[in-house]
Structure 1
Amino acid sequence: MLKSALAIFTTLLFTVSGISPVQAQTASTNTKKTSSKKAPVKKAVVAKRPVTHSRVTKASLDNREKLVRKVTVVKGKRRVAYQRVSAAPSMPVVPPVMTAGDLAGLNLTQDPLALKSNVALVIDQANSQVLFEKNSTVALPIASVTKLMTSLVVVEARMNMEEVLTVTDDDVDREKHSSSRLRVGAQLSRDDMLHIALMSSENRAASALGRNYPGGLSSFVAAMNAKARSLGMMDTHYVDSTGLSSQNVASARDLAKLVVAAYQYPIIRQYSTDSKYQVEPSGHALQYNSSNRLTSSKDWDIGLQKTGFINEAGHCLVMMTRIDGRPIVMVFLDSKGRLSHVGDATRMRKWLTEDGQQNLTRVKMVRADQG
């Protein structure tokens, strides 16, 4: 009786839920079967990393992208693919700086010593004999060799050398933007300004010397040009007291005359050939060194010298020296390389010795035989 009542209740329940007793029994049976089976255990699959070989095959036409060939090996199968990638920006090619001498074609001039200077002149001061000459009449920018005329004008003006001069904003180089160890407001005597301008080519010192001339810088430049004319330097022209302007020009012939004139003053000889000098602008000690390493060499006997460099002029050097007891004037302009003018002076000195002359004679004889 209890089983009959339970059967009636079950029938009513399935009737209300919309499921027939047969469907319920079938679902129950399937559920038992499913639950009795164990779920398969999935094995973890470790994917192998693909082996990739890449190389650049060619660049695109605009040079901003490159086509890269990639070879990938996955599960033993080799796959090839091509991909465009951005190329690393290339460094801009900086063209070589052309000096005024190069633009004039002076670099095409050959000489027996293969000098790096486009212009050279060597004179025996004892008898004014020209020993070596190369493009010596061409007027070129002379850079800080200008300061040799600056010193000559200052010395001949006989101004108070102990007068204290102040570096101002007007002395700051706004043309080449060159650096200086003398800050605006620094104070030095005229004597110290002249010393470091000659020895170390201090631009602000040279500017202060010209600016503190009676009448100012314009009067000083006029005095420089007047002095050049009085020395017979007809290919020479100055526009400032520093040489930073490429409009300061002269020929090697003219500069040889300037060297001889400046050599007459002991103060110019001493200051230009000192290898070291210390100044104290506004009480702060500064050690300056010569711009010409030959002044500290025991192999050289230099009585006067001045170097110079700007891009338009190349490296320049003028000297009064003694070689085998002879007073020799050397002028080198528009030399290529930081120490090339010094190297040219060394080659020239060797050539002027007896051994050098003998070697040159032998070279000429060989060339004559080959010709």
Structure 2
Amino acid sequence: MQNGGFRLIICATLAALAPLATGLATPAHAQQDARQLFRNVARQDAPAVAARAAYLVDTTTGTVRFSKRATQRLPVASLTKVMTAYVVLREAELDDVVTVNSSDVRHATANGATTAALRAGERLTVRDLLYGAMLPSGADATHALARVYGPGDSRFVAKMNAAARSLGLTGTRYGNPDGLPKPSPGYSTAQDQAKLTETALGDPVLLAIASTARYTVPASKVHRAHVWTNSNKLLGKSAGAVGLKTGYTRAAGYCLSFAADRDGHRIVGVILGESNADRRFQTAGRLLNWAGEQPTSDV
């Protein structure tokens, strides 16, 4: 922040506290006024966000750092797969083996979705399929997991919505396990997805998956070799980045749920409805840097 910005904060705070000297305001009133003035200055100094909605929170302190249409219900594309992974981890063992079938492969190709390049007949562990669903955002891997642990999409989606309710995601309704337009993508909010991101990263398995830049499955007698690269470009480029998920459909635009650990604080953010693929990462990086420059608690 430039020196002028610091002068503005100091002046605003002094102006709010000045009535104390004349007995015209109580300390509580003055503190509230100063706090509100500080928030207004911080908003003016925040990075520009072109996306339809965004939310940034310091989950260590519970302080909301940025909010733009954070409760507006929007499609979230493949951010949906975070809930899919969350549900699978409560239904399955990581070493369970799932056989990929033709419907899993066909589902991804017929919908023009990103894939983990799976083939019918391959047998992979749940652990491997979770990496395939989260890193390259494979709709084939997601479909295989939902098919087995629903069993079937409709039952699996019911479990997703039950989990959303239990987590207090009141603005969220899932329509399928992958966020694709058909049969229904469902909807969520930036605020709800931030809550889900915080919860997901509290699971050591999901934290490990989300923070992995590249994952290799060596060839075996029951499956081909696979190498999956994480689509989250913040990893390795933004200090402390630990996840979480990218997404895109025409209706949802470019989406991103992200998090970083900095100076003992975990900062979690969500960007929904961005029109430019790379700008979501640039915006996320700027928001994280800006949040790190702000005081760690209210005035």
**TM-score class normalised by the smaller sequence:** 0.7 to 0.9
Q: Cα distance 1:111–1:144, how it changes in 2: closer, same or farther (>3 A)?
A: farther
Q: Cα distance 1:111–1:208, how it changes in 2: closer, same or farther (>3 A)?
A: farther
Segments of 5+ residues of structure 1 without an aligned counterpart are: 1-109, 358-371
Residue aligning to 1:177:
112
What residue identity is the alignment partner of 2:284? A
Q: Cα distance 1:161–1:344, how it changes in 2: closer, same or farther (>3 A)?
A: same
Report SS of the residue matched to 1:293: coil
Tell me which of 254, 269, 274 is aligned to 1:330. 269
1:309 paired to 2:223: no
- Give the whole-Å Cα distance in 1 for the aligned partners of 2:114 and 2:261: 34
For the aligned residues, what is the CA RMSD? Answer: 2.1
1:273 paired to 2:273: no
1:153 paired to 2:92: no
| Paired positions, count | 245
Report SS of the residue matched to 1:330: strand
Q: Does the Cα contact within 8 Å between 1:117 and 1:340 map onto a contact in 2? A: no
- Greater strand share, 1 or 2? 1
Report SS of the residue matched to 1:296: coil
Q: Does the Cα contact within 8 Å between 2:122 and 2:223 map onto a contact in 1? A: no
- Give the whole-Å Cα distance in 2 for the aligned partners of 1:304 and 1:259: 9
1:97-130 Cα shifts (integer Å, max 9, x gaps): xxxxxxxxxxxxx995222311110111122111
Task: Tell me which structure has the larger Cα radius of gyration.
Answer: 1
Report SS of the residue matched to 1:295: coil
TM-score, normalization by structure 1: 0.62
Residue aligning to 1:133:
67
- Give the whole-Å Cα distance in 2 for the aligned partners of 1:191 and 1:286: 13
Give the CA deviation at 1:230. Answer: 0.9
1:162-217 Cα shifts (integer Å, max 9, x gaps): 22212223222366322531123332111100122122211110111111015322
Identity %: 34
Give the CA deviation at 1:153. Answer: 0.5
1:68-112 Cα shifts (integer Å, max 9, x gaps): xxxxxxxxxxxxxxxxxxxxxxxxxxxxxxxxxxxxxxxxxx995
Tell me which of 250, 255, 258 is aligned to 1:319. 258
- Give the whole-Å Cα distance in 1 for the aligned partners of 2:174 and 2:102: 22
Report SS of the residue matched to 1:117: coil
Residue aligning to 1:197:
133
Give the CA deviation at 1:323. Answer: 3.1
Q: Cα distance 1:112–1:127, how it changes in 2: closer, same or farther (>3 A)?
A: closer
What residue identity is the alignment partner of 2:96? E
Residue aligning to 2:21:
none
Segments of 5+ residues of structure 2 without an aligned counterpart are: 1-43
Residue aligning to 1:9:
none
Residue aligning to 1:215:
151
Q: Does the Cα contact within 8 Å between 1:268 and 1:304 map onto a contact in 2? A: no
Give the CA deviation at 1:144. Answer: 0.7
- Greater helix share, 1 or 2? 2
1:295-344 Cα shifts (integer Å, max 9, x gaps): 133x4212331111111111111122123432111111111112111011
Report SS of the residue matched to 1:347: helix
1:340-371 Cα shifts (integer Å, max 9, x gaps): 110111111232233x89xxxxxxxxxxxxxx
Tell me which of 231, 248, 253 is aligned to 2:186. 248
- Give the whole-Å Cα distance in 2 for the aligned partners of 1:259 and 1:175: 29
What residue identity is the alignment partner of 1:353? G
- Give the whole-Å Cα distance in 2 for the aligned partners of 1:169 and 1:266: 32
Q: Does the Cα contact within 8 Å between 2:71 and 2:190 map onto a contact in 1? A: yes
- Give the whole-Å Cα distance in 1 for the aligned partners of 2:235 and 2:210: 9
Within 5 A, what are the aligned runs for 1:1-371?
A: 112-157=46-91, 159-171=92-104, 172-173=107-108, 176-180=111-115, 181-245=117-181, 247-279=185-217, 280=219, 282-297=222-237, 299-354=238-293
1:23-73 Cα shifts (integer Å, max 9, x gaps): xxxxxxxxxxxxxxxxxxxxxxxxxxxxxxxxxxxxxxxxxxxxxxxxxxx
- Give the whole-Å Cα distance in 1 for the aligned partners of 2:111 and 2:151: 25
